[in-house]
Structure formats: structure tokens, C-alpha cells
Copies of this chain bind each other. A is one copy, B any other.
Amino acid sequence: MQELEDRIVAEGTVRPGEVVKVDSFLNHQCDVTLFDHMGAEWAAHFAGRPVNKILTIEASGIGIACVAARHFDDVPVVFAKKAQSINLDGDQYCTSVYSYTKQQAYPIILSKRFLGPSDHVLIIDDFMANGKAMQGLLELCEEAHAHVEGIGIAIEKGFQGGGDALRDEGYDVDSLAIIDEIRDDGTLVFRH
């Protein structure tokens, strides 16, 4: 998506550890016009899929998912919560996600009332790198026996392999900007 790539180039900054910071429009300050255009792109890509729910994870995914949902007949958005601890009361789906940044796993939870076998889910998130968070969301869908119709990502760090691994598994992953390389001078190389 040209508009998104242009914004990444214009406003993104590369930090040590191949971190691409885009907090001026994506995940701290939110450009809702851009979010709307992103929603339109995913709606075109996933046209014909019987999506009846959008799943995301707090916090950065929520705004994008809620604006994008308007392009999918206003289907409900449900977001997985990062929990303090595993809750074993049986009302929640639960799995854990390993974070390389924090070098530890954290639990994510989702109420069983909001995802089940009748759901056809589009998963949306702001970033995909190694795909660990997405793996967690897919595990929640599996636990719920929900059908995953597709995965919509704003920015995929292609060189970290998470997206391609999911494509190899048969998932329809639509990333609106895929960064395949960060050169030593900070130049970003996009996949086209």
C-alpha cells in the first residue's frame, strides 16, 4: 500500500535492534484517516470471505481494528488482553506469547463468550515480526474452534520470517507494507 509505505519512509525511524518506530501515525498517535484507508484495502483483499468478527490484541491493534471493522459491515471487534497471570476459572481462553523484547512469556486471555465455532475471524494487528503474538491469537482461535478467514497486518518485517511461515501454513496474510531489508544506512527495502 503506497500511502502506508510513504508514511513509513517519511516519519518512521530505525532504532538499534532493527526496530522501526512509527509512533507518530500507527501505535501511539493514530491517524484515523490512514486507518480507514487500511480498512478499505483489507476489505478489498478479503472480499467474499464470510468475516463476522475481527480479532486483535491490546493495545495498538484496537484502534486499527475498530476503524477497519466499518469496512466489514460493522462486525464486532474483540481484543485479547494481556493478563497479569493465568486465570484458570474456565471462562476464558488463555495462551502465552513469548516476547523477545522482554525475554519472557506473558499470558493473553479472551472471554469464551466472544469467540466460538460459529465465528469466521479476520485477525488484525499493527505489526508482525517473528509472528509470536499472531501465533498466540491463532491458538485462541483454535481453542475456540473458530474459523480464521485471514490475517491483516499493517507493517510486516519480512526479514524476520513470521509472515512467510504463516503463508506456508496456508494462511491468507495481507500485510499492507512488508519491509524485507533494513540497510546499514537506515534505508528500508519494501517487498513488491
The verdict on A147 contacting chain B, using a C-beta distance below 8 Å, is no
Determine the chain B residues whose CB is within 8 A of the CB of A33 once the complex forms: 74
Q: Are A28 and B111 within 8 A (Cβ)?
A: yes
Chain A facing B: main interface SS: mixed
Q: Are B66 and A29 within 8 A (Cβ)?
A: no
> Copy number in this complex?
2
The count of residues in chain A whose C-beta lies closer than 8 Å to any C-beta of chain B is: 30
Determine the chain B residues whose CB is within 8 A of the CB of A66 once the complex forms: 30, 32, 35, 62-64, 66-67
Taken residue by residue from 62 to 81, chain A's Cβ proximity to chain B (1 for < 8 Å, 0 otherwise) reads as: 11111101100010111101
The verdict on A192 contacting chain B, using a C-beta distance below 8 Å, is no
The verdict on A187 contacting chain B, using a C-beta distance below 8 Å, is no
Write the residues of chain A forming the contact surface with B, with a CB cutoff of 8 angstroms: 23-25, 28-33, 35-36, 58-59, 62-67, 69-70, 74, 76-79, 81, 111, 113-114
